[in-house]
Amino acid sequence: MTAATLIVGCATLTKTAGGWLGNGASAPRAYYVGVARAKLYRAPDVSSEVVGELALHDGVLRYEVEGEFSYVKAEQGGRSGWLQSAKLIDDLPRASQTPVSAPDAAEPTEKPESETTEPEAPHPPEKSVFDPY
């Protein structure tokens, strides 16, 4: 990463590929929302005004952390505000390895009454190697 430094009065600014950063500032970090309908607040406090909601797995950039809150901006739609940090996740969960297939439309889901059979009697359970009787 290329960086340049500029001294302005008492402040030192650093220009990175993402732009100019002040003292102690760092580039925003990408996260995902880990809950559905996560509330965005105007201030880092749950009693603050709700300014929006984010959906499950929305991508956000976190710019600042204050206590248990993070100041985030949504990648889609540009909504921004304070979100409880516990509602952020680093990575999206993996999709299920076993795909769930829908029932085949050609197969009927119920058999006609003429094809129904009586259920078999249950089989007694097999003896366990741990059962002394």
| Residues linked to residue 16 through DSSP beta bridges, in sequence order | 19
49 domain-assigned = yes
User: Does the residue 126 lie in any domain?
Assistant: no
Q: Is residue 61 part of a domain?
A: yes
CATH code at position 38: 2.30.30.40
Domain-embedded: residue 68 = yes
List the structure tokens of 103. 């029932």
Bridge partners of residue 62, in order along the sequence: 29, 72
Cα angle for residues 35, 38, 41 (degrees, 5° grid): 155
Instruction: Please check whether residue 36 lies inside any domain of the structure.
Output: yes
Total number of domains constituting the chain: 1
pLDDT tens, residue by residue, 50-106: 999 999 999 999 999 999 999 999 998 889 999 999 999 998 888 744 454 555 555
- 126 vs 22, which has greater pLDDT? 126
The whole-number pLDDT of residue 1 equals: 40
User: pTM for this one?
Assistant: 0.53
Question: Cβ–Cβ contacts within 10 Å for residue 41, how many?
Answer: 19
pLDDT of 17 > 50? The answer is: no
pLDDT at 14: 46
Residue 71 burial (10 A CB sphere; 0-12, 13-18, 19+): buried
Give the residue numbers spanning the domain of 68.
28-89
Express the helix, strand and coil content of the chain in percent, nearest 5 each.
5, 35, 60
